[in-house]
Amino acid sequence: MDRIVDIATDGRHLSLYRGFLVVEEQREEVGRIALDDIYAVIVHAHGTTWSANLVAALAERGAPVVFCGSNHSPVAVTLPIEGHHAQNARFRAQWGASKPLCKQLWRRIVTAKIAMQGSLLATRGIAGAEAFPLIARRVKSGDSDNLEAQAARRYWPLLMGAEFRRDRNSPGANALLNYGYAVIRATVARAVIAAGLHPTIGINHANRGNAFVLADDLVEPFRPLVDALVVAMIARGLDTLDPKLKRQFARLIAFDLRIGGEASPVSIAAVRLAQSLARAFETGRPSLAIFDPPTPIEWAALARSDESDEASE
């Protein structure tokens, strides 16, 4: 399986040597991994340095480098300029996409996200979950009624408790969510580039300071997967991000999702979603390859992944 490399120890130096990413501390090698095995690199340690050759070699392989702040939320990402043989044509189609098409695409993204939220709540037997399929069906073009936000206001108290507030700068569950979302965001950003799309041209998000708005659009249906894992961690008293929990988040990219009756890991589901978006821009038809919500058994398997990791320690 492709691996996510997490750099969490201060003062490490990252370099390239004969096809390997080499990690050094005070000029002594402490680890290495083959570049071809790397899916993404996540850096959130102070004083980390790296060679330009390494970043270029990772970009050639389509592996993003994600830089995180002290709250474990991404602040920068490096990705290759070229990602697909038809990139120029797809850039033009993406830039020229009509507003009605983008609004219909966004409706499908929001509908899928709300359906995922409802599925997770229902699997956990939480009263109020039955409202989410109804909300999902009511989403209009462009989510003009802002049902995504309305669903979120119901979702977080039901899932995490009435006192919970989603705050990127808070510790505990919020920090775990930040890191999990960073893993999924890197996965989607890589898929966006591989599909020949430009990451700064979104279908809904339009933050001028965000160079990866398209990844933030497409990541939305995947977020409840992170939520489910975090809830399971909190239930076991695990609320501090450590190497063991990071490994569990990294394994999310291998979790199987169903698309049209076929099982694909999250990493491939992200590629299929991005490729379908590229085709939608080219054809003008708002069709997306969005995965189905997991079954109760599949949600349970995701929640148990932290237990299996703990048992293997």
Q: Give the DSSP per-residue string, 153-208.
A: HHHHHHHH-TT----TT-STHHHHHHHHHHHHHHHHHHHHHHTT--TT--SS---T
Binding residues: 148, 205, 220
Over the Cα atoms of the chain, what is R_g? 19
Helix (H, G, I), strand (E, B) or coil at 124: coil
Helices (H), the chain: 52-60, 87-95, 99-123, 131-137, 147-160, 173-194, 213-218, 223-235, 243-250, 266-283, 296-312
Beta strand pairing status for 28-34 and 20-25?
antiparallel
Binding residues for Mn(2+): 148, 205, 220
Of the chain, the end-to-end C-alpha distance in Å amounts to 20
Rounded Cα gap, residues 234 and 173, in angstroms: 7
Burial of 301 (0-12, 13-18, 19+ CB in 10 A): middle
